[in-house]
Amino acid sequence: MTTPVTINFTATDLDALAGFQGRVVVLSESAALRRVNRATRGAVDRLFAAEAWQKGRAGDAMELAFPANMQAEAVQVVNLPRRAGADDARRAGATIGRTMGAAPVLVVAGNHPRAADIAYGLALRAYEFSDHKTGEKKSFGTVTLMADNPEQVAAAAQPMAALAEAVFFTRDLVNEPANILTTNDFAARLAAMQELGLEVEILEEPELERLGMRALLGVGQGSESPTKVVVMQWQGGGDEAPLALIGKGVVFDSGGISIKPAAGMEEMTMDMGGAGVVAGVMRALALRKAKANVVGLVGLVENMPDGRAQRPGDVVRSMKGDTIEVINTDAEGRLVLADVMWYAQERFKPTGMIDLATLTGAIIIGLGHENAGVFSNNDGLCNAFLAAAAAEGEGAWRMPLGDAYDKMLKSRIADMKNVGGRPAGSITAAQFLQRFVKPETPWIHLDIAGVALLSSDSTFAPKGATGWGVRALDRLIRDKFEKAGG
């Protein structure tokens, strides 16, 4: 997997700046900046007078190329006041990470109170998925972060480094092509996390058939890749009931018999994004030894057209026992989630349940690529998640649920249809899923279709997979579900 850039924490030594060969990064309100300004005979003063600097905001940066009286190839001056919050400090780090190359980087954080957040933002942004490139690949040099209290900063940065690794794990999964990340390969990568202390169990098709998961199995019956459910357990919180995370893991979505248009279909390798996020969160919990009980379940399946494929008009019976008329085989994610959600509740009796899925194009029409859609039957859990997402800078917006939308799912021949038509498409999808949530289970549905993979760079990731949700869910677990001292 792609590993985050190495960051070494050392004590501040301003005398080392002049002879450092590589890129030197100094903050806008620091002794290091004043040292650079003297060495370069006022070049920093001239930079501050530039219109571009004056119009910038916290987290932005400008560069001095080949500065006088220094061995560095560039000095990057980052606009970061001492009183900056975590968001600005992480954005500053991301600015450093975005401009990194193969040269080593020296970040002089000094006594800035947000030094660990700078390192975190840098680590998140210095990412490239290049597993399948045979030519020149972008490489990142090592990073040395100077701080007045390096041991303290390193300790604060350690759990953030674990989280960055988990985000990279999710990004790698979502970026992988479907001929590499088959259901078998996906399951194997998750099973390998047993080395981190997770309990991992793989349910194969005969067991899924025995359990009655015909909604899930129907999605994959036209594919050569076997359908699987992977169960990952992290038990760091004693005997308490776990939080359940459920992920849609459609490794490729052709639409099935209701086949998608050719344009853009190549991006349907990301339709396992929900499962990717669940996997990343479980990895983060294991890496940082979280004091919480969490179970992650992902339904792994491929939706392909074939002589055996599910047809529009078919009726399938879910594990719950409800029958579903399949109007559109491209509305398959809700069929996957329905059975896995019910299984999770039956087996684990969770204290709460959160499902994630790249579920509907309708959520992109409503929210664009800035926010995931949030649907919930429980204000307390929902508000806690929204607060966690805001704290981590991951956009999320609550959407409505209501009995009136259920009428759109009424079927003439079965208990329900799997689609309710074009109006309110993301809401009717959530209403469908709510039918598989027990009344006593606090539940959130996250429609991440607009945020899982982007066609342009974002603050913390290059274009492609973002890893959205790993940080927000990890924060939610830390804030709401971990035991004291976790």
Q: What is the pLDDT of residues 245-291, one digit of tens each?
A: 999 999 999 999 999 999 999 999 999 999 999 999 999 999 999 99
Question: Do 14 and 66 belong to one domain?
Answer: yes
Question: Do 161 and 185 belong to one domain?
Answer: no
Measured CA to CA, the distance from residue 154 to residue 481 in angstroms comes to: 25
Q: Which of 166, 198, 233 is the last residue of a domain?
A: 166
Residue 254 belongs to a domain with what CATH number? 3.40.630.10
Question: Do 440 and 471 belong to one domain?
Answer: yes
Question: Do 135 and 215 belong to one domain?
Answer: no
Q: How far is CA 85 from CA 49, 153, 326, 392, 424, in A?
A: 25, 16, 49, 12, 38
Give the long-range contacts of residues 29-35, CB within 8 A, separation 24 or more: 29/80, 29/81, 29/82, 30/108, 30/110, 30/112, 31/110, 32/108, 32/110, 32/146, 33/77
Q: Which amino acid is at 36?
A: V
Is the Cα dihedral 316, 441, 366, 175 positive or negative?
negative
pLDDT, one tens digit per residue, over 336-354 is 999 999 999 999 999 999 9
pLDDT score for 190: 98
Decide if pLDDT at 143 tops 70.
Answer: yes
What is the band of 127 on the pLDDT scale with cuts at 50, 70, 90? very high
Measured CA to CA, the distance from residue 123 to residue 119 in angstroms comes to: 6
Number of domains in the chain: 2
- Rounded average pLDDT over 465-484: 95
Question: Do 252 and 352 belong to one domain?
Answer: yes
- The residue from 90, 98, 288, 334 that is catalytic is 334
Helix or strand (DSSP H, E) at 56? none
Q: Which of 136, 166, 196 is the last residue of a domain?
A: 166
Residue 147's CB: how many other CB atoms inside 10 A? Answer: 24
Which is it for strands 143-147 and 396-398: parallel, antiparallel or unpaired? unpaired
Q: Dmax over Cα atoms in the chain, in whole Å? A: 82
Domain-embedded: residue 112: yes
Q: Which amino acid is at 470?
A: V
Alpha carbon distance, N-terminus to C-terminus of the chain:
27
Measured CA to CA, the distance from residue 155 to residue 288 in angstroms comes to: 12
Structural tokens at position 127: 């990412």
Strand spans (E) along 189-332: 199-203, 228-235, 243-253, 293-303, 315-317, 323-325
What is the band of 484 on the pLDDT scale with cuts at 50, 70, 90? low
pLDDT score for 427: 98
pLDDT, one tens digit per residue, over 152-182 is 999 999 999 999 999 999 999 999 999 999 9
Q: Tell me how many degrees the CA angle 461-467-470 measures, rounded to the nearest 5.
A: 130
- The residue from 260, 291, 317, 398 that is catalytic is 260
Burial class (CB in 10 A: 0-12, 13-18, 19+), 380: exposed
Decide if pLDDT at 56 tops 80.
Answer: yes
Q: How far is CA 367 from CA 372, 374, 378, 387, 390, in A?
A: 7, 11, 22, 18, 16
**Do residues 483 and 237 touch, judged by C-beta distance below 8 A?**
yes
Q: Give the contacts of 404 (CB within 8 A, at least 6 positions apart).
A: none
Question: Do 193 and 67 belong to one domain?
Answer: no
pLDDT score for 135: 83
- Rounded average pLDDT over 3-29: 96
Domain-embedded: residue 174: no
pLDDT, one tens digit per residue, over 85-116 is 999 999 999 999 999 999 999 999 999 999 99
pLDDT, one tens digit per residue, over 366-382 is 999 999 999 999 999 99
Q: Which candidate, 371, 344, 349, places its Cα nearest to that of 449?
A: 371
Ordered alpha helix ranges (H), 176-265? 183-191, 205-211, 214-220
Domain-embedded: residue 173: no
pLDDT score for 482: 94
DSSP helix/strand/coil, 344: helix
Domain-embedded: residue 1: no
Domain-embedded: residue 176: no
334 is known as an active-site residue: yes
Measured CA to CA, the distance from residue 349 to residue 369 in angstroms comes to: 34
pLDDT, one tens digit per residue, over 411-432 is 999 999 999 999 999 999 999 9
**Do residues 252 and 268 touch, judged by C-beta distance below 8 A?**
yes
Which residue range(s) make up the domain with 142?
7-166
Question: Do 373 and 445 belong to one domain?
Answer: yes
Give φ, ψ of 234 to 5 degrees. -120, 120
Helix or strand (DSSP H, E) at 117? helix 115-125
Residue 73 belongs to a domain with what CATH number? 3.40.220.10
pLDDT score for 486: 44
Q: At what angle do helices 150-175 and 273-287 cross, to 10 degrees?
A: 150
Question: Do 149 and 214 belong to one domain?
Answer: no
Decide if pLDDT at 322 tops 80.
Answer: yes
Torsion of CA 149, 154, 155, 160, to 10 degrees: 140
Question: Do 195 and 137 belong to one domain?
Answer: no
What is the band of 395 on the pLDDT scale with cuts at 50, 70, 90? very high
- Average predicted confidence (pLDDT) for the chain: 96
Question: Do 156 and 204 belong to one domain?
Answer: no
Domain-embedded: residue 21: yes
Helices (H) and strands (E) in the chain, counts: 16, 19
Domain-embedded: residue 455: yes
308 is known as an active-site residue: no
Question: Do 148 and 187 belong to one domain?
Answer: no
Domain-embedded: residue 171: no
Measured CA to CA, the distance from residue 102 to residue 433 in angstroms comes to: 47
Decide if pLDDT at 473 tops 70.
Answer: yes
Measured CA to CA, the distance from residue 361 to residue 416 in angstroms comes to: 21
Question: Do 74 and 208 belong to one domain?
Answer: no
> Which residue is listed with tokens 């500053």?
92
- Rounded average pLDDT over 123-145: 92
